[in-house]
Amino acid sequence: MAVVVGLLAAGGAIVLRWLIALVKGLSFDVGPRIGPALGVPLPPWMETLMVPAVGMVVVSAMVRRWAPEAMGHGVPEVQFAVRQRGGRIRPRVAVVKAVASALSIGTGGSVGREGPIVQIGSGLGSTVGQVMRMGPEEVKLLVAAGAAGAIGATFNAPIAGVIFALEIILGSFAARSFGLVVIAAVTATAASRAVLGAEPAFRLVEQFTLVSHWEFGFYLLLGAVAGGVALLYIRAVYGAEEVFDRWSARPWVKAVTGGLIVGALGTFGSVHLFGVGHEGVELALAGELATGAMISLVFLKMMATSVTLAAGGSGGVFAPALFIGAMTGGVVGRFAGAVAPAIAAPAGAYALVGAAAVFGAAAHAPMTAIIILFEMTDNYRIILPLMLSVVLAQLIASRIFPDSIYSIKLRRLGGMKTPHEQLGTLDIILVADAMMDEVPTVPPDLPLEELARRAREDDTRSWLVLDEEERPVGVVTLTDLERAMLEEDGLAGRTVQDVMTTALVTVRPGDTMRDAFRRFSEHDVHLMPVVDPEAGTVVGILRRTEMMWAFKELSDEYRRMVTRRAGVPYLAEGGGPVHLELPVPADDPEIAFRQIRDIPLPPHVLVALLRRGERTVVPRGFTRVEPGDVLTLITAAEYRDELERWAERHGAVAAAVR
């Protein structure tokens, strides 16, 4: 399976490169000819300015429609799938991510291709694992194998692919993981070399080396500067995202605005800000850029990448980090050459080390940064200063700000805990486990008289108010309606938006109940809309009652498990309870994609727990079962045979009963 995943990852890397080249050619070569052909010639600068905006609009609409998890830079979504979903990634993500990233990069979006190819390779690995009906641990390994193969194939860097998968995706260097990931990376890199060639990603005009041991002082300075620049890069990416998230404009307006900003930066700033930016890095490595130009490109690239991602683009943050780091290193190299020309290497050597240092500090992945720059340049003689600067930059960045450019988004998705957080019951239950899927909603322009009629007919005390984009804009309660009735104007001629509460407090499906409990307490609200972090749409509603119910259910189940482990039966007097864990296959129509209350269980069998990846879900009647879930079935000892027969019909092994 690792070989198969490696071949698929290589195919994905080749196709992605081809798609990027195709879109780039259509956008910047064929596109400018369309205006004159239609009799509407435009100035060249205007054509270049508009291309990123057009691409951004198409990408934003496509991703929101078919795969919201394909938005952004991709790696945190893979990490979330490994940590919270047992490695399960929807098959369509690989396709949507490939097309969306090709459109983003090909039309000038200032992002890289490593994030997309990691998500594509991981998605292919996950799909193989799901098709072969593997367990969560095996699927996770194939996800990591896909990521390693993808990095190895796209950058011709198999060792870096392995380290990236183990250090960033799995967070583990276990022997079994290492072996499978190596197989996939070697297979993918060999396959891509057969098609794309074996040249390193960056061409160097000379092999850099350490000129003098005194030069280590300048590389220490570079490490310190790179750590600060990496922090600035992280803040810029997520600062822009917060600005665009707070902006209440429609998605297409955000996409057009972001595209025009990126287009302006590339048109009037530097063409190297468009796309991946490898040409700009090679110029810095060759020492062909002026010092002032490199300083300005550091900040312009941060702005272009941040706006591209915040406005809805799809692409990685690795290549921009290399670009920013190369410019930073080039500036330090020029300083070193001016201060001590006799002992300083060319500025290109510092640009190479700076590229690795900024990425290593931003991603908190020093091993990956060191290895990948060595493989991408095929320059080993600079390895000592490379190691020194990268590690120093990472230490400084992580000491000042503990989160990496990946872990911030992973934390927002609900897939990460700090080492200092104690895992309790409130940390085990997620908002997605306790929320109500069926949300009573009304539009803001609904007349209050119509709302009063609904209140009389339905047993509903509150309604969520959604705009045309299905985004929450307020909440209206029965109390609001009653208060309006008592006012002098009454209900006539008034609408929901006249009386609704607009100060909404929201949560995400991946938030823990501890987070939700804290928000309930801080804001003194009785319900909170549950909003998809990618699409911005409402997927459920969480009330205080559901939160307390879920907490009580899991606490009771925990006590029962403790009792069972102590050897005290609690279900049947005739020998204690019987448990069975049933993995849910995708092709079982009686279980997969059905609500628990609709599953034809034997009369004396209950679903006690549902395990989804590393999450423990408290089952309720409306809980929908997905392929890959593991159901814990429970019955009394006297009905053991009944449970065994039913489970065997659904692929479970009788020996699993205990």
Are the CB atoms for 371 and 160 separated by under 8 Å?
yes
Pair (102, 166) in one structural domain: yes
> Which has the closest alpha carbon to 265: 48, 571, 585?
48
> Which has the closest alpha carbon to 388: 160, 210, 173, 165?
210
Q: Distance from first CA to last CA of the chain, Å, rounded?
A: 31
Note whether residue 555 is domain-resident: no
Task: CATH number of the domain at 159, please.
Answer: 1.10.3080.10
Domain boundary among 546, 565, 596: 546
Pair (139, 165) in one structural domain: yes
Of the pLDDT bands very low, low, confident and very high (cuts 50, 70, 90), residue 629 is confident
Pair (101, 241) in one structural domain: no
Q: Which residue has the higher pLDDT, 165 or 42?
A: 165
With a cut of 60, say whether residue 482 has pLDDT above it: yes
Pair (598, 625) in one structural domain: yes
Domain boundary among 196, 221, 256: 196
Over the chain, what is the mean pLDDT? 80
Pair (286, 341) in one structural domain: yes
Of the pLDDT bands very low, low, confident and very high (cuts 50, 70, 90), residue 11 is very high
With a cut of 90, say whether residue 321 has pLDDT above it: yes
With a cut of 50, say whether residue 653 has pLDDT above it: no
Note whether residue 568 is domain-resident: no
For position 553, what pLDDT does the model report?
60
Pair (624, 491) in one structural domain: no
Rounded Cα distance, 658 and 639, in Å: 13
Note whether residue 594 is domain-resident: yes
Domain boundary among 360, 382, 412: 412
With a cut of 90, say whether residue 220 has pLDDT above it: yes
> Which has the closest alpha carbon to 391: 230, 248, 526, 507?
230
Instruction: Identify the weakest region by mean pLDDT among 23-32, 105-114, 402-411.
Output: 23-32
User: How many separate domains does the chain show?
Assistant: 4
Could you tell me which residues come within 8 angstroms of residue 293 by beta carbon, excluding any fewer than 6 positions away? 270
Q: Tell me what percent of the residues of the chain surpass a pLDDT of 90.
A: 17
Pair (258, 186) in one structural domain: no
Average of pLDDT values for 603-611? Answer: 79
Instruction: Identify the weakest region by mean pLDDT among 24-28, 99-103, 333-337.
Output: 24-28
Note whether residue 202 is domain-resident: no
Pair (464, 509) in one structural domain: yes
Q: Which residue has the higher pLDDT, 452 or 488?
A: 452
Give the range of the structural domain holding residue 168, as residue numbers without chain letter.
Answer: 2-196
Instruction: Identify the weakest region by mean pLDDT among 86-90, 101-105, 313-317, 651-655.
Output: 651-655
Note whether residue 377 is domain-resident: yes
Sign of the CA dihedral running 501, 504, 505, 510: positive
Pair (405, 431) in one structural domain: no
What DSSP string runs through 342-408?
Answer: TTPPPHHHHHHHHHHHHHHHHHT-HHHHHHHHHHHHT--TTHHHHHHHHHHHHHHHHHH----TTHH
pLDDT digits (tens, 9 = 90+) for 368-404: 888 888 788 877 788 888 899 999 999 999 889 888 8
458 HSE (CA, 13 A, CB side):
13
Q: What is the pTM of this model?
A: 0.64
Are the CB atoms for 10 and 191 separated by under 8 Å?
yes
Note whether residue 421 is domain-resident: no
Q: Tell me what percent of the residues of the chain surpass a pLDDT of 70.
A: 85
Six-digit token string for 96: 């949507």
Of the pLDDT bands very low, low, confident and very high (cuts 50, 70, 90), residue 574 is very low
Rounded Cα distance, 616 and 84, in Å: 10
Task: CATH number of the domain at 521, please.
Answer: 3.10.580.10
For position 174, what pLDDT does the model report?
63
Note whether residue 454 is domain-resident: yes
Pair (256, 189) in one structural domain: no
For position 535, what pLDDT does the model report?
66
For position 361, what pLDDT does the model report?
93
For position 619, what pLDDT does the model report?
75
Give the burial class of 647: count Cβ atoms within 10 A of its Cβ; 0-12 exposed, 13-18 middle, 19 or more buried. buried
Q: Are strands 441-442 and 606-612 parallel, antiparallel or unpaired?
A: unpaired
pLDDT digits (tens, 9 = 90+) for 325-340: 999 999 999 999 999 8
Rounded Cα distance, 11 and 185, in Å: 13
Q: Which residue has the higher pLDDT, 571 or 3?
A: 3
With a cut of 80, say whether residue 425 has pLDDT above it: no
With a cut of 60, say whether residue 360 has pLDDT above it: yes
Could you tell me which residues come within 8 angstroms of residue 584 by beta carbon, excluding any fewer than 6 positions away? 591, 592, 625, 626, 627, 628, 629, 630, 631
Average of pLDDT values for 57-80? Answer: 79
For position 229, what pLDDT does the model report?
95
CB atoms within 10 A of CB 509: 18
For position 492, what pLDDT does the model report?
80
Our CA angle for 465, 311, 269, nearest 5°, is 155
> Which has the closest alpha carbon to 195: 399, 14, 12?
14
Pair (589, 451) in one structural domain: no
Pair (455, 521) in one structural domain: yes
For position 420, what pLDDT does the model report?
39
pLDDT digits (tens, 9 = 90+) for 152-175: 888 888 888 898 888 888 876 666
For position 652, what pLDDT does the model report?
55
Note whether residue 632 is domain-resident: yes
Instruction: Identify the weakest region by mean pLDDT among 126-140, 258-272, 531-545, 597-611.
Output: 531-545
What DSSP string runs through 199-256?
Answer: --SS--SS------GGGHHHHHHHHHHHHHHHHHHHHHHHHHHHHHHH--S-HHHHHH
C-alpha torsion angle, residues 421, 424, 428, 433 (rounded to 10): -120
Task: CATH number of the domain at 618, please.
Answer: 3.30.70.1450
